[in-house]
Structure 1
């Protein structure tokens, strides 16, 4: 990249070679979500139906308890393993998308070898409607030169995800608490003993309770980790506005390394939740970027 030139990210991102990589990693994430959805649906079904079967058909209590225990093991081994496998492949394709779009070097030590172009093309072919994937980095970069324009796009991604994970953590924790209270109310209404409550209501719901607590914690910790990376970006931006020469491509590569690890190892927000909040999150990140370009302190940008 010539010094002081723009990477033209907002224009180039919809070119076929970049758009296909975006479609490919979106497809791979869809596969990961399917494994997560299968686990969640099974857990929810046991939590919702299991207690009622045990209450109204007492002879099935032991069977329901055994199925709940078996599903807990299956969900946390096979299904979770398949989800992680798909996620790891998706993050590598997403890294390929970002590094080519941002003109960043590929970090082989971190991400391994680049995904094969045939695999990328095969995944991209599954998405025929690309309208929702255009203008992916939607912040107004103005005339910001490279690599500062890269840093702004990295910040949009980091802030957007941080907000989604924090909101989802609160949502699933609230849902779990409400479901737990409903179980207690049913037990009190039917005057169940503690043993009957544990066997007939709590045990079938245990996988759901464990997932709720674990997921809420994981998403909250992930949001905090993203916020730390966001603070690093804000510090780099502040230094850049004072002395532009201080921002180097190595700084952006360090931010990209952090983003890759967070994507690879972090929990996923369901597509439906993301879609419901997309307009709000996009508006927030656009306003935040506008605030930075106006010269205000990053701490004053919308969160």
Structure 2
């Protein structure tokens, strides 16, 4: 006897898993922001020092630029570990409420219950209740597919918007670098050593974020297409959706979560109501299609 996703997702165990993964993702985002802030401060400090110390301008610019770049490279190691833990906990939640088998050969391992409890206790948000839309009487595993589809509705548009904002920021950064060179009357060689080299690290960070957001959007679109194809096959009675099909989709979701680009909280909050409305409307539409096709649980 299956427990409905709407019920399972709100029981104490599921809520603890959701709180833990939310806390872990928030921690990873904070670490990323802190790393980027340090990179920007180091770059700005190097440029300022190089401009003030004209006698050793090139040395300061090159040494400071190298230090900034190395920090940029090394600072993301722990962040990736935290993201992996968060993705693993979210996978534990999904397999629990969807009643899917755990992929022992997948990229994530189960997280220790003690670590989950500690992370959950530190969560201060209120966004864990009714995580997935109610799927009514839709038969399993189509109800799982609807919820998996709702995961992909979050962020695709936001990723595109944030990537555009980052590109504009990069253009401003380049313009600022050129403006500094002109205002200080630097030669090409001086500009390269004192300004361009120190700004390489923040520029690389921005480019990486642009690429990551575009990749996240593209990957989510492809996963949506996969789910849409499975759904069409089920609705038209050409191919029944199986638990194994849902497990394949779930593996894609895990891969997306491991590499998903972070977006600022203010942008996420600004777009959140639109995302929630779109997710609910899409779920309602799919439920109506399944009901019309007679793909509902016996006795419903």
Q: TM-score range by the shorter chain?
A: 0.7 to 0.9
User: Which of these residues, 121, 144, 167, is aligned with residue 150 of structure 1?
Assistant: 144
Which residue of the partner structure matches residue 161 of structure 2?
167
Q: Which structure 2 residues correspond to residues 292-303 of structure 1 after superposition, within 5 A?
A: 292-295=286-289
Partner SS state of residue 130, structure 2: coil
User: Which of these residues, 46, 49, 55, is aligned with residue 50 of structure 1?
Assistant: 46
How far 1:161 moved relative to its partner?
3.2
Partner SS state of residue 46, structure 2: helix
Distance 2:235 2:194 in 1: 62
Q: Which structure 2 residues correspond to residues 206-221 of structure 1 after superposition, within 5 A?
A: 206-221=200-215
Partner SS state of residue 10, structure 2: coil
Long gaps (5+) in structure 1: 297-303
Tell me whether 46-55 or 149-158 shows the greater mean CA deviation: 46-55
How far 1:47 moved relative to its partner?
3.7
From the superposition, tell whether residues 49 and 42 of structure 1 become closer, same or farther in structure 2 (CA, over 3 Å).
same
How far 1:17 moved relative to its partner?
0.7
Which residue of the partner structure matches residue 68 of structure 2?
71
Partner SS state of residue 157, structure 2: helix
Distance 2:267 2:193 in 1: 33
Distance 1:130 1:190 in 2: 48
Contact 1:46–1:205 under 8 Å retained in 2: no
Partner SS state of residue 133, structure 1: coil
Distance 1:68 1:38 in 2: 18
Contact 1:166–1:219 under 8 Å retained in 2: yes
Q: Deviations over 1:237-257 (max 9, x none)?
A: 111222297011111111000
Long gaps (5+) in structure 2: 291-300
User: Which of these residues, 78, 90, 94, is aligned with residue 98 of structure 1?
Assistant: 94
From the superposition, tell whether residues 111 and 71 of structure 1 become closer, same or farther in structure 2 (CA, over 3 Å).
same
Tell me whether 175-184 or 261-270 shows the greater mean CA deviation: 261-270
Which residue of the partner structure matches residue 127 of structure 2?
132
Partner SS state of residue 122, structure 2: coil
Distance 2:239 2:225 in 1: 20
Which residue of the partner structure matches residue 297 of structure 2?
none
TM-score (norm 2): 0.87
In the alignment, does 2:270 pair up with 1:276?
yes
Output the aligned Cα RMSD. 2.3
In the alignment, does 2:253 pair up with 1:259?
yes
How far 1:195 moved relative to its partner?
1.5
How far 1:205 moved relative to its partner?
1.2
How far 1:10 moved relative to its partner?
2.8
User: Which of these residues, 214, 238, 243, is aligned with residue 249 of structure 1?
Assistant: 243
How far 1:149 moved relative to its partner?
1.5
Tell me whether 180-189 or 221-230 shows the greater mean CA deviation: 180-189
TM-score (norm 1): 0.86
In the alignment, does 2:230 pair up with 1:233?
no
Which residue of the partner structure matches residue 216 of structure 2?
222
Distance 2:287 2:100 in 1: 22
Contact 1:53–1:60 under 8 Å retained in 2: no
